[in-house]
Amino acid sequence: MNEITKRAKVLLVDDHPIVRQGLRALLDGEGDLEVSGEAESADGALASIEAQAPDVVLVDISLQSGDGLELVRQIRARWTIPVLVLSIHDESLYAERALRAGASGYVMKQEATNAVTGALRRVLSGEIWLSDRLSGRLLKAYVQGEKPLGDSPLSVLSDRELQVFHLISQGFGTGEISRSLSISRKTVETHRAHIKEKLGLRTGVELIQFAARYKGSSKGEV
């Protein structure tokens, strides 16, 4: 009698139900992977980890309630579970930030479906997953002593400034950003001022227009 293979439990964290449905259909069709739970927010993800003890967490970097990078930090501070980030945003801007936050890998949603399953198996085995393109870039930067972040103008922003910028690109106002990130309105305004200065923008209108172009671009770049 053949031994039954234990399936690794995957927690899905994404605020889009259709995305979670598609991922569940994909992963539940694999013989060694299964979706053990779903969450649409950072708080929900932490509660699900506590209750379900998944083997790996698949996190969207952009959550309407909370921030994916901060969620990765919180998970890594409390558990040894590997975290794989799945995002629509270009890896050249976000992947290194995700690794610094404690993620074990970064996969773009535009990648083929077998990239997701392959990446999950890789991080479950204790390894790091990045695309061949980004792995080569990071290795070259390391050897040459250069800064590995990409060429996007947004690479000059800090992680928190990038969070604020992303929420601006979604149409969030100062009050909404304040509530979403649990920071004061004054702190939000300070971040907005720093973002404008770093991006060479003069007014709030220019910042909103720049953020709108970012959201509308195919790779999340401008």
User: Among 48-62, 114-128, 203-217, where is mean pLDDT lowest?
Assistant: 203-217
Q: Is the pLDDT of residue 50 over 70?
A: yes
The tens digit of pLDDT for each residue in 137-169 reads 666 666 666 655 555 778 888 888 988 998 898
Higher pLDDT, 221 or 95: 95
Question: What gap in Å lies between CA 210 and CA 213, rounded to an integer?
Answer: 5
Same domain assignment for residues 198 and 111: no
Beta-strand ranges (E) seen in the chain are: 8-13, 33-39, 56-60, 83-87, 105-108
Which of 103, 119, 141 is the C-terminal boundary of a domain? 141
Contact 56, 124 (CB under 8 A): yes
Last residue of a domain, one of 111, 141, 171: 141
Q: Are residues 111 and 196 in the same domain?
A: no
Domain of 18: which CATH number?
Answer: 3.40.50.2300
Domain co-membership, 19 together with 129: yes
What is the pLDDT at residue 221?
45
Mean residue pLDDT of the chain comes to 86
In this predicted model, which residue has the larger pLDDT, 180 or 143? 180
Asked if residue 2 has pLDDT above 60, the reply is: no
- Note whether 136 and 172 are same-domain residues: no
- Helices 204-216, 185-199: inter-axial angle, 10-degree rounding: 80
Mean of pLDDT values over 178-182: 85
Domain membership flag for residue 146 = no
Q: How far apart are CA 190 and CA 172, in angstroms?
A: 16
Domain range enclosing 196: 153-216
Domain count, the chain: 2
Are 118 and 171 members of one domain?
Answer: no
Are 175 and 129 part of one and the same domain?
no
In this predicted model, what pLDDT tens digit does every residue of 183-202 receive, in sequence order? 899 999 999 999 999 999 99
Q: What would the two tokens of residue 26 be?
A: 């994909």
Q: For residue 2, tell me if it sits in a domain.
A: no
Read off the pLDDT of residues 58-74 as tens digits, 9 standing for 90 and up: 999 878 666 788 899 99
Question: Are 193 and 115 in a shared domain?
Answer: no
Looking at the fold, whether 65 and 124 belong to one and the same domain comes out as yes
Domain C-terminal end among 119, 141, 163: 141
Average pLDDT value for residue range 87-94: 79
**Does residue 160 form part of some domain?**
yes
